[in-house]
A = this chain, B = another copy of it.
């Protein structure tokens, strides 16, 4: 059965997801549930101190336990990987702790056993001794070198703008980014009013429903890793680097992912699993429990100081932002967050004089990395809370104040890069409209008060990054698409198939998207930061175009006139005399990029596209308990052209609900470096009862001219405005301002009591 052409195009249709059936029938395979013949199970013994010198490990009792195949510590790893430090930005993280431990929960040793429960029991028999060292937990405190997390900085060498940090000592700053536009000091001096506020965000987790899992199967000259990773290409090249092997001897296969959200990027368990497989000479699986997620990777807690100078017309003429990113014990991708998101700290406002200072700090906490929004939600919480606070102080309507200061398409952002195809004004207008801003509103008078708030943000995409795709047209015209974007629930396979189908004029569901496997799927920088639809979308489009051109050449070769509707299968039969042959198309995409000037932070070309979105909410605040109920939540996003409108919609609601948890109740409680709520019983993620009664997802279709079929990424945008919109709505309802996340009942009640002049016992 040949694939039949479909009129009307594939792009813009809300097609059902290609992988849905496999997931609902239970056929989909996850790393967490995979088994290989002869596989062993590893369980991790973790540090109990936040900072300490590792004196000794007693593994004798664990080794003696029946069923235990081996117990391995850092020095064992060195037998197979002599220099076992990894990381995307810095080679700072040991596969297992060597001389020191730097956070509570850091992997120190691993028991490998024939059964995971045996391994777990044996872990309980291990004892380690440490010489405890002073520790630092706060990002601002870490600016002082009084306590040093690392003796020396070790940039990975892959990012040009980190190279100058090589060998730097006596600092916890893993990256400092500075941007200067105009003369901010002069402008502050000339301003009619100056406002300064400080905002803090807490340490939160990704909590994918499938915890981290990786299986490694090493032979003497090949390594195969099965991992629920968002970045198989990086895992492959980093494992090859650690092993000193060429990339083609390392194979990374990605089964289904039960969520990622940025947690499953770069090396997580893969290097440890690889080392264990080489040591044990058997396939080894590492699969974390939900609780162990608290010791893997988190979002960056931040302290953000924001200062604005406003002229007498209500125009912001100066803004200074200081952002301190709490990166935890190992840098992971934090230094990129510091720069790539740091430069958007002034928000979507057209301000002539800007100063940004953004710092990545090492502390003795679980490392922080990418989490849906890549730092932007923390910044938007700061600048959009600040916007409302300034407007209120100036007695200007917050929406009018935003409109008056809005950065509109055609104008340069603080970096100097012009905002193109970014519908800031339409997004703001729709936000206001959706909650009837400016219309009469009953705020209530009893213990339940009502308020409205909105907020919007912008984000650049990490740039420059590369995606490669290939497509294989079989002799019956059916197609197989090879693209390294990992579909972890966001529907990318479906969108990519729609793009390929659009070019080749065949139904998306007739395109088979192969599972991610670095032996098969070409290079992709990673599924992260809303980059895939734009970058891989282009690569897929180019691969399909390449195939289409080759099919056209084949048509000419077999004497078919241009534009004839001869089925592809017929072209193959004519050329090869039978059902034979293939057409292989390949496409590579990397956007233009100019790195920011190292002094001014200026560049005309910092991102190939801008994300613009916001959230408006209507809330009810219970003045007696501090409880906030979200009555209505509206997400508005400029999505370029939606490739699959239904998927865009679910991305918006999903993103906003995730950020809702971070806004309202999620928080890792840490005391003396110990996480005191490291379980999902104590660390609450949103459930069905936490979902607002009304959620609306509104898209502003605003063709991204340089995007594939006018599209751009929307995976993160709905996270931007949620926290400040709710904080603004709380102030609108009850007149109190909370500047520290989460906005849980305790925080709101404390603020209400302070306002009422009867504070709770002080924090």
Q: Which residues of A contact B (CB under 8 A)?
A: 1-3, 21-22, 25, 27, 35, 37, 158-160, 219-221, 233, 237, 240, 244-249, 464-466, 468, 470, 472, 474-480, 510-512, 514, 519-520, 522-523, 525, 575-582, 584, 586, 588, 590, 593
A233 CB contacts on chain B under 8 angstroms: 580
Q: Give bound CA distance, A3 to B246, whole Å.
A: 7
* CA–CA, A464 and B586, complex, Å: 27
- Distance in angstroms from A588 CB to nearest chain B CB is 6
Copies of this chain, complex-wide, total: 2
28 contacting pairs across A/B (C-beta < 8 A): A1-B240, A2-B246, A3-B246, A21-B221, A22-B219, A158-B578, A158-B579, A159-B578, A160-B577, A246-B476, A246-B477, A247-B474, A247-B478, A248-B510, A248-B512, A249-B512, A464-B577, A465-B580, A466-B576, A468-B582, A474-B523, A475-B523, A512-B519, A525-B580, A576-B590, A577-B593, A580-B590, A581-B590
Q: Which residue of B lies closest to A523 (CB)?
A: B582
Q: Which of A37, A219, A475, A511 has the most CB of B within 10 A?
A: A475
Are B584 and A522 in contact, CB atoms less than 8 angstroms apart? yes
CA distance A88 to B178 in the complex (A): 69
Interchain CA distance A646-B38 in the complex, whole Å: 36
Q: Are B245 and A1 in contact (CB under 8 A)?
A: yes
Are A514 and B520 in contact, with the CB atoms below 8 A? yes
Across the A-B interface, give the 3 residue pairs with the lowest CB-CB distance, nearest first: A246-B478, A248-B478, A584-B586
Q: Kindly provide the distance from the CB of A697 to the nearest chain B CB, expressed in whole angstroms.
A: 30
Q: Complex: how many Å from CA A3 to CA B240?
A: 12
Nearest-CB distance from A669 to chain B (Å)?
A: 38
In the assembly, what is the distance between CA of A466 and CA of B579, in Å? 10
- CB–CB A21/B466 < 8 A: no
Bound CA span A590–B580, Å: 10
Q: A465-B580, A584-B586 are in contact. Are A522 and B472 (CB under 8 A)?
A: yes
Residues in B whose Cβ lies below 8 Å from that of A21: 220-221
Say yes or no: A237-B37 contact (C-beta < 8 A), given A247-B474, A474-B523, A510-B248: no
A581 to B524, CA, bound (A): 7
Closest B residue to A506 using CB positions = B246
> Besides the contacts A474-B523, A512-B519, what 13 more A-B pairs have beta carbons closer than 8 Å?
A2-B246, A25-B219, A159-B578, A240-B476, A248-B480, A465-B580, A466-B580, A466-B581, A468-B581, A470-B470, A523-B580, A523-B581, A584-B586
- By a CB distance below 8 angstroms, the chain B residues around A579 are 158, 237
Residues of chain B contacted by A580 (CB below 8 angstroms) = 233, 465-466, 523, 525, 590
Q: Which residues of B contact A22 (CB under 8 A)?
A: 219
Distance in angstroms between the alpha carbons of A431 and B551 in the assembled complex: 50
The interface residues of chain B lying within 8 Å CB-to-CB of A249 are 478, 512
Contact with A584, one of B1, B244, B468, B578 (Cβ below 8 angstroms): B468
Closest to A220 in B: B21
Given contacts A248-B511, A510-B246, contact A237 B519 (CB under 8 A): no
Residue from A159, A475, A578 having most chain B Cβ neighbours under 10 A:
A578
Name the CB-closest residue of B to A245.
Answer: B1
Query: Which of B245, B479, B511, B522 is close to A582, meaning CB atoms less than 8 Å apart?
Result: B522
Asked if A476 contacts B237 (CB within 8 A), the reply is yes
- Within the complex, what minimum Cβ distance (angstroms) separates A442 from chain B? 54
Nearest B residue to A464, CB-CB: B577
Name A4's closest neighbour in chain B (CB-CB).
Answer: B246
Q: Give bound CA distance, A519 to B479, whole Å.
A: 10
Residues of B within 8 A of A475 (CB): 237, 247, 523
Query: Is B1 within 8 A of A470, CB to CB?
Result: no
- Interface pair A248/B479, CB less than 8 Å apart: yes
**Contact residues in B for A158 (Cβ distance below 8 Å):** 578-579
Given A35-B37, A474-B523, A514-B519; A588-B578 close (CB under 8 Å): no
Closest Cβ neighbor of A584 among chain B residues: B586
| Contact with A588, one of B582, B586, B590 (Cβ below 8 angstroms) | B582
Contact A27 B248, beta carbon cutoff 8 Å: no
Q: How far is the CA of A476 from the CA of B586 in the complex (A)?
A: 19
Distance A480 CA – B522 CA, assembled complex (angstroms): 11
Chain B nearest Cβ from A163, distance in angstroms: 12
Residue of B nearest to A484 (CB): B582
Contact B476 A247 (CB under 8 A): yes
Complex alpha-carbon distance, A165 and B472, angstroms: 35
Contacts of A248 in B (CB 8 A): 474, 478-480, 510-512
Give A588's nearest chain B residue, CB to CB: B581
CA A287 to CA B623, docked complex, whole Å: 73
On chain B, the residues within 8 Å of A479 by CB distance are 248
Contact present for B520 and A520 (CB under 8 Å):
yes
A270 to chain B, nearest CB (A): 17
